[in-house]
């Protein structure tokens, strides 16, 4: 029996391959369907061997949907490393996935994934340090390239300062207009704010802070059948409202 895929199927599978995977409820959010409908769609994907048929739950909650290695390589057109969700990584992977949906919907052309950025770095020689890799980059509807970092837990100031400095350096090298840290909670924002202030920088990409959960809640509230992603390109999105610059409680001032 042949299985036919719609453009939405192919876009969803491609995004999953780019982003490693996502829990079923986030897949439903991406496709703009109910959980039950998402379950039927992903069952079709599994029957076609496009996603793993293992219903893995690395943490309590919905099972995770992720492409097989062969499917990911076919969808992305390059060799990839085998990936399965683990308890240590799923919170961050899910957050970055949801951020992508909030910023660019199912547009395949405006988001550059961490997986792609990592592949561009390629293999390193023994002893060669790996450059910082952003959690993603995206192109605003105005055509500007922005780098993104997702921070869910507070680091030490020294660790955060090093991370911010490296992320800014790579953003500058990539000709990004700016870099936004999407943070979970005030404690995390305060650490990033303090770390950035200690760099004494002048010039370079703009650096801003945004509350991750506030952004995701806002996009969820704004969602409607008209705006839900069902096609390749979604008009509008967070960039239209200058989301990267609505940064912190201080009237959206840049860091």
DSSP helix/strand/coil, 179: strand
- Provide the residue range defining the domain that includes 102: 89-122+131-255
Pairing mode, strands 145-151 and 178-183: parallel
State whether 135 and 197 are in the same domain.
yes
> In CATH, what number is assigned to the domain containing residue 137?
3.40.91
State whether 204 and 162 are in the same domain.
yes
Instruction: Among 60, 87, 114, give the residue marking a domain's end.
Output: 87
State whether 109 and 141 are in the same domain.
yes
State whether 177 and 220 are in the same domain.
yes
Concatenate the DSSP letters of all residues of 101-114 into one string. HHHHTT-SSSEEEH
State whether 115 and 230 are in the same domain.
yes
- How high is the pLDDT of residue 203? 83
pTM above 0.75, yes or no: yes
State whether 232 and 145 are in the same domain.
yes
State whether 216 and 147 are in the same domain.
yes
Output the CA–CA distances (angstroms, integers) from residue 89 to 6, 61, 243, in the order listed: 30, 15, 26
> In CATH, what number is assigned to the domain containing residue 83?
1.10.10.10
The number of distinct structural domains making up the chain is 2
**pLDDT tens by residue, the chain, 255 residues:** 578 999 999 999 999 999 999 999 999 999 999 999 999 999 999 999 999 999 899 999 999 999 999 999 999 999 999 999 999 999 999 999 999 999 999 999 999 999 999 998 876 667 667 789 999 999 999 999 999 999 999 999 999 999 999 999 999 999 999 999 999 999 999 999 999 998 987 788 999 999 999 999 998 888 754 444 444 433 333 333 332 333 333 334 466
E strand or H helix at 146, and its extent?
Answer: strand 145-151
Which of these, 94, 111, 135, 90, lies nearest to 238 by C-alpha position? 111
Which of these, 18, 233, 220, lies nearest to 107 by C-alpha position? 233
State whether 169 and 244 are in the same domain.
yes
């Amino acid at each position: 029996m042949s299985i036919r895929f719609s453009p939405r199927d192919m876009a969803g599978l491609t995004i999953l391959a780019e982003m490693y995977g996502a829990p079923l409820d986030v897949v439903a959010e991406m496709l703009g369907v109910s959980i039950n409908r998402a379950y039927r769609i992903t069952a079709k994907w599994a029957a076609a061997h496009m996603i793993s048929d293992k219903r893995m739950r690395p943490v309590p909650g919905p099972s995770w949907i992720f492409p097989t290695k062969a499917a990911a390589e076919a969808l992305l057109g390059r060799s990839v490393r085998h990936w399965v969700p683990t308890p240590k990584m799923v919170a961050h992977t899910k957050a970055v996935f949801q951020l992508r949906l909030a910023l660019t919907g199912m547009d395949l052309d405006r988001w550059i994934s961490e997986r792609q950025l990592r592949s561009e770095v390629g293999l390193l020689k023994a002893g060669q340090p790996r450059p910082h890799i952003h959690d993603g980059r995206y192109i605003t509807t105005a055509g500007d390239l922005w780098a993104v970092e997702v921070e869910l837990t507070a680091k030490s100031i020294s660790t955060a300062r090093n991370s911010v400095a490296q992320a800014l350096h790579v953003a500058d090298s990539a000709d990004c207009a700016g870099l936004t840290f999407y943070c979970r909670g005030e404690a995390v924002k305060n650490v990033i704010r303090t770390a950035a202030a200690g760099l004494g920088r002048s010039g370079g990409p703009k650096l801003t802070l945004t509350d991750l959960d506030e952004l995701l809640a806002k996009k969820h509230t704004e969602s409607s059948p008209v705006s839900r992603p069902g096609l390749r390109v979604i008009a509008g999105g967070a960039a239209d409202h200058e989301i990267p610059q609505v940064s912190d409680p201080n009237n959206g001032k840049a860091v």
